[in-house]
Structure 1
Amino acid sequence: MEQNLNILNLEDSPNDSELIKEILFDAGIECDIIRVENEKDYLWAIENHNIDIILADYTLPLFDGLSALKIALKKCPDVPFVFVTGTLGEEIAVESLKSGATDYVLKDGLLRLVPAVQKALREVEFKIKRKQSENALRESEEKYRELVESISSILYTVDNKGIVTYISPSVQALIGYSSSEIIGRSLFVLIYPEDISYIEKQFKKRLSNSLEPSEYRIVKKSGETIWVTSSSREIIREKKLVGLRGLIVNIDEDKKFKEKLNESLDRLQNANRGIIQAMALTIETRDPYTAGHQRRVACLARAIATEMNLSEQQIEGLNMAGSIHDLGKLSVPADILSKPSRLSEIEYELIKIHPEAGYNILKDIEFPWPVAQIILQHHERMDGSGYPKGLMGEDIIMESRILSVADVVEAISSHRPYRSAQGVDKALEEVADKKGILYDPVVVDACLRVFKEKGFKF
């Protein structure tokens, strides 16, 4: 980082605070630590310093970490909050993460401090970059609105052969010809040669009472070509069609701006994909099992969605969500994720917070797809037995219903730290048996077709 990291350290031990600074310094993280011990100083520091991250002890003589967390979530919700404490039982750890803490590190395991701080700062960086992209897009949209409001236009009338009988003086400002230079001439002489055939057909349609607008190019007196749009209505005299009255609007800047806007949108879409890929890579470096699982789940979910004829937008969103659907496991200690035996009840409860943890990381990022919602609901079940909300049936969005089936099929068929792979046949048998109970029957049927008829393989 170019500037020192501003760390607010809620800690009653100066020695422990100094140790934290030394560990971060040794890892190449330059930081300024503001150490406080009570609520008054804590509030003052938040309000008077640009804090980058909060490291807090859980229990202090004059204050407590959980109250500090509540204040931080209210006063500075975007600032990561990490517990660094001597003792923190599993139940309290689960509760703190559910309450909004970014992570926790035990003082007897400070080797985790640097990765925890780096992870928290990466999450903030993702949000900042995304907000910058959104602000840039907002500015582009405002410029677009200003452009549309300031466009110039030309009123004209032509007879039924296309000869100009009237054209407004604004024509000179737009294309360089005076009204007198155009009146009495065919309107077609102004049109770009490659567009004449198209406009002649449109003119005949208009004379036949077909009045849709047209976009085409006209040639200015200077020889420059510009884009315009034209709409017209019939001129009827004594029940006879004698010509057309129309409006020509300059859309050249509009066209160019739209092209630039589309380029900006493409860049924004690529930025979204880049954020997703960066998150997936972050998970992969921490837990290779989860990373490989996510890639395979995303691939299967995409195949199922395609089989179900979902829209391209939905398929893209599902693929993005599938690629990071276990993002929330970043908040779960790595030794639990890789435990080679069955999890304890407390450990399982800790694992179960990962959909909400992933949702909390992503909820403020305005992707063009409901990525956060898909991730939040991917462990819900049709009968309401899932988590975290116990949603049922149609209350679960379709993308999450697809992701849940893909997730289960991949998990059963693949190797896990605590068991060997059970194979695809066993996995398909499981979702087929629970079809309509735990899993959406339409999704399950599509999944079975993908494997048995389309030859899908992980």
Structure 2
Amino acid sequence: MKKLRILNLEDNPNDSDLIQELLEDGGIECEITRVETGEEFISACDKSGFDIILSDYSLPSFDGLSALKIANEKCSDIPFIFVSGKMGEDIAVESLKNGAVDYILKSNFKRLAASVKRALKDAELRTTRRQAEKALQESEERYRMLFENSMDAIILSVPDGKILATNPETCRMLRYNENELRDLYRNDVVDVTDPRLIPALEERSRTGKFKGELSLIRKDRTMFPCEISSVIFHDSDGAERVSMIIRDITERKQKEESQRKFINGMVHAMVLAVEARDPYTAGHQRRVAQLAAAIAKEMDLPALKIEGIERAAAIHDIGKISVPADLLSKPTVLSEIEYQMVQIHPEEGYKIFKEIEFPWPIALIILQHHERLDGSGYPNRLRGDEILTETLVVSVADVVEAISSHRPYRPAYGINFAMDEISKNRGILYDPDAVDACLKLFNKKGFKFQ
């Protein structure tokens, strides 16, 4: 444990020695630097490094109150205690008012150790409090800087939606000034007809946070799409507050729509190209896409995944462009070599799409659509979790449509035969959830191919 460093303003060296002895008897190891004059005291304060100042009140060439004033100016964090042989009550009160933490009469030295310990503890608490206040101030300044300069809109409100504060980006985005926004509620700027709003509020109420997309309304009543992160929190007074960080995603949505139109056009062209070469499977991919999307919805998969399943299913046989047309329309059963030639179509389809960037794993779904849970499929004999969820859905739809429809080498077996096939191989070849959803669609919801 390091020794306590004491600056002692004292003209009597014997009293300094006595102070050290009393403190060490009280369990305080210390080093005392004794000074007698104002010049020495100022020099010592400038050097700093002391933990406490013990000062006589009256010295031949200096006085304690002057020393206290200097200490307050140069080292106000250091506790200052008067240790004097004689000190009137009025002077003692004045010294305490001016910043001294205690006064000890030399006739009552036994109080010294306890007074020093208390002064040091109080000083530590003051330092900790100042550091916390400084950290809080810096944190508030950082928050204010982030709040004011954020490129996202930020709204602070109470739980019922009354807006308390907004940053400049909110004003720019919604086209209100700050005072106007403070007179509004959340429902004045959020599209209350958006079907996503109620689930969003329920999620935030249940979990304390929400992140998703909603439509907002500008002052001129035009609506625009936004990505919103909202959190419930408590302020320094314990009051419940709500924050909303808002990003305008109009440009992103426009790009997505443009990309979607491009993809739809490309998919349609591909479908026509395949079906032109294989008239016996005309409409097969379209019907598989219809059923696959319905199965995915019945399984309650996310909307984006459902869209990807529908797109991939619509072109899952694109690789048949690389298969000789006479094999695709051959009216008899294929030979082993001919069948192997047809089996290249998943890999050929993968090659066509693997370099194209989609929001969904289109190329992999095409590659895997003949894989089976037990590893008996092709081309890579994948098993179980190695196969994408999207592929598992497309595979069931593909099998059902293929079995129930006419082929060059056989008549249509019908829906009942198809239902028997997926039922008996549920969990063996085909995903159980996808099979259950498909059976429910046909047996209970009256699904029909269009």
TM-score in terms of structure 1 length: 0.48
Tell me which structure has the larger Cα radius of gyration: 2
Higher relative contact order, structure no. (Cα contacts within 8 Å, ≥ 6 residues apart): 1
